[in-house]
């Protein structure tokens, strides 16, 4: 961090801020909470630890934020490096399925998008050979697989569900995606968006899901198409997918861009 380039504002605070660290820490509480969410630390970070890690003036909100984002990106790289592309998420038996399954979105259930399956087209773009759109019959004609896995939401609940659909690797191969690209991005019908590292996109349990239980996805659970990623937290499982793109530029995500750790692997 460039503690060597203080702004005029920080120099002014330096000279006058003789408050105890506890009060300075209180000023930065929202940023520290965001950092804790990114790093999933249970213990509190002290002002001293943060200052030491960053070598950064703790009175400058701008540079504090830059340090926190830099630490989160570093954390993404470590998690990506630790990710075992062959390790499977636990699977469960049919009698362990959670009923009723919880709904979650950034809006209430009655606002879930109402999509007409007969006119629905999935868009494909970016680093792929075949950019044709897909309708639901074409997606159902691809090989399908079923899984009973646990969905874990960062808000503090988890539930076991059954999903069926196209192994995402099969889909990426079918569209001639550049499998050496770094990211796959998702745009949803409700303005939600998210993205995955390519290793997770190619993981054997990552699924382009059409069915929940033994029926098409209900509106609240992502009709007509969602991504099921049992190796990631729930917010990295986009529902109501409208477009998929392959890219080398990190597309971020709805919660990711508000401070939730981007990798969020389990
Ligand atoms: N399109 C869309 N996808 C989304 C969300 C959303 O608000 N919109 N919320 C995410 C979050 S935080 C969770 S926990 C899961 C909830 O999925 P469920 O309703 O099937 O339990 O969807 C994820 N995918
Ligand atoms: Mo969530």
Q: Tens digit of pLDDT for each residue in 202-261?
A: 999 999 999 999 999 999 999 999 999 999 999 999 999 999 999 999 999 999 999 999
Domain contains 263: no
Q: Distance from the CA of 236 to the center of ligand 2, in angstroms?
A: 8
Question: Which residue has the CA at smallest separation from atom 24 of ligand 1?
Answer: 238
Three-state SS for 212? strand
Question: Among 15-29, 47-61, 86-100, 235-249, where is mean pLDDT lowest?
Answer: 15-29
pLDDT band at 2; cut points 50, 70, 90:
very low
Domain contains 200: yes
Q: Which residues contact 43 (CB under 8 A, 6 or more apart)?
A: none
Q: Distance from the CA of 188 to the center of ligand 1, in angstroms?
A: 11
Q: Distance from the CA of 16 to the center of ligand 2, in angstroms?
A: 43
Q: Which residues contact 103 (CB under 8 A, 6 or more apart)?
A: 109, 112, 220, 221
CA proximity to 188, closest of 263, 109, 115: 115
Residue 20 has a pLDDT of 55
This prediction has a pTM of: 0.82
Domain contains 1: no
Q: Which of 52, 82, 112 delimits the end of a domain?
A: 82
Dist. CA 209–CA 166, nearest whole Å: 6
Q: Distance from the CA of 235 to the center of ligand 2, in angstroms?
A: 4
Tell me the mean pLDDT in the region 37-55: 59
**167 lies in the same domain as 101:** yes
Mean of the per-residue pLDDT values of the chain: 87
Domain contains 2: no
**55 lies in the same domain as 157:** no
Beta partners for residue 196, in sequence order:
184
**165 lies in the same domain as 45:** no
Q: Which residues contact 150 (CB under 8 A, 6 or more apart)?
A: 89, 90, 92, 158, 159, 160, 230
Q: Is the CB of 161 under 6 A from ligand 1?
A: no
Domain contains 122: yes
% residues pLDDT > 70 (the chain): 77
Dist. CA 154–CA 233, nearest whole Å: 7
Helix (H) or strand (E) holding 214: none
DSSP 57-68: -TT-HHHHHHHH
Question: Which residue has the CA at smallest separation from atom 16 of ligand 1?
Answer: 104
Q: Which of 82, 105, 136 delimits the end of a domain?
A: 82
Ligand minimally distant from the alpha carbon of residue 229: 1
Question: Among 13-17, 109-113, 160-164, where is mean pLDDT lowest?
Answer: 13-17
Domain count, the chain: 2
Dist. CA 243–CA 187, nearest whole Å: 5
Beta partners for residue 84, in sequence order:
none
Question: Which residue has the CA at smallest separation from atom 7 of ligand 1?
Answer: 105
Q: Is the CB of 103 under 6 A from ligand 1?
A: yes
% residues pLDDT > 90 (the chain): 71
Tell me the mean pLDDT in the region 23-34: 63
Domain contains 89: no
Q: Which of 27, 52, 82 delimits the end of a domain?
A: 82
Where in the sequence is the domain holding 235, given as residue range(s)? 94-258
pLDDT band at 70; cut points 50, 70, 90:
confident
Residue 8 has a pLDDT of 33
**Count of helix runs (H) and strand runs (E) in the chain:** 8, 9
Question: Which residue has the CA at smallest separation from atom 17 of ligand 1?
Answer: 104
């Amino acid at each position: 961090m460039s503690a060597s380039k203080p702004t005029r504002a920080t120099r002014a605070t330096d000279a006058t801020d003789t408050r105890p660290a506890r009060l300075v820490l209180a000023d930065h509480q929202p940023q520290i909470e965001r950092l804790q969410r990114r790093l999933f630390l249970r213990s509190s970070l002290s002002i001293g630890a943060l200052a030491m890690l960053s070598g950064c003036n703790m009175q400058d909100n701008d540079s504090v934020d830059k340090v926190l984002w830099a630490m989160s990106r570093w954390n993404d790289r470590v998690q990506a490096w630790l990710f075992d592309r062959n390790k499977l998420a636990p699977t469960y038996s049919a009698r362990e399925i959670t009923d009723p399954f919880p709904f979650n979105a950034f809006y209430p259930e009655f606002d879930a998008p109402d999509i007409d399956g007969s006119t629905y087209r999935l868009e494909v773009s970016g680093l792929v050979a075949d950019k044709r759109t897909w309708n639901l019959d074409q997606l159902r004609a691809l090989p399908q697989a079923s899984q009973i896995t646990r969905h874990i939401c960062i808000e503090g609940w988890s539930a076991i569900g059954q999903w069926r659909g196209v192994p995402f690797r099969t889909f990426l191969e079918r569209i001639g995606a550049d499998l050496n690209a770094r990211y796959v991005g998702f745009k949803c019908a409700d303005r939600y968006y998210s993205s995955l590292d390519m290793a997770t996109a190619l993981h054997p349990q990552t699924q382009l899901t059409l069915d929940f239980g033994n029926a098409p996805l209900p509106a609240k659970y992502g009709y007509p198409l969602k991504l099921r990623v049992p190796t990631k937290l729930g917010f990295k499982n986009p529902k109501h997918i409208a477009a998929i793109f392959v890219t080398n530029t990190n597309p971020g995500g709805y919660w990711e861009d508000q401070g939730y750790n981007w990798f969020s692997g389990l």
